[in-house]
Structure 1
Amino acid sequence: MNFSCSCCWENGKKENWTGRIADIYSYGSHYEISIQSRSSIRILIGQTCSGFFACIPDFQAGCHLGSLEDIFYNQEKLTFAMENVIDAATVASALRYLSDILSF
């Protein structure tokens, strides 16, 4: 499954690229998603009474998220956690793409 990604830099420049969902595994309480783009990213997505969360073990990062469709808020939270704007934008775009597919 391919999806579009974009990032706006502080200087006004916009960058676009394509990502791909390579695998999705459902564990009932959470999902494990493998994303291929400029890098390979494996994320765990779940929901608690406080909302959604993302865990990115390869980045030793995790954070709370807004709704899966909220690309701007999620990208901000993921950028802070991952310390990488491009990968955070890729994950936020993947979550938006998957928001209608994943069921919690």
Structure 2
Amino acid sequence: ALAREFFEETGKEFIVKKFVGAVEHKFENEDGCFHEINLLFTVDSDAEEISSAEQQLEFLWREIENLKNLNLQPRPIVDIIMQLHDGDFPVWKSTMEK
């Protein structure tokens, strides 16, 4: 299902490799209060350039060491990517108050 979703969003083929973690996230904006669970997977693709069919989505290739300088939200996603790079997964993170 994830490979199909990637294809629908980008028109590019992806191979889903493995589950690496999840982030529970709650946030508010002008449209209300939202609760989401982000599931993270490693994927492979031969695509060098990826654009989204949806205006609110953006796909970027970045060096791992530069991720901490980006406004990638929810923020714990950066931690999971760094742990994956170090070989430590799967990971559960949450921005919910305890």
TM-score above 0.5, yes or no: no
From the two aligned structures, give the one with the greater strand fraction.
1
TM-score, length of structure 1 as denominator length: 0.35
Q: Is the radius of gyration larger for structure 1 or structure 2?
A: 2
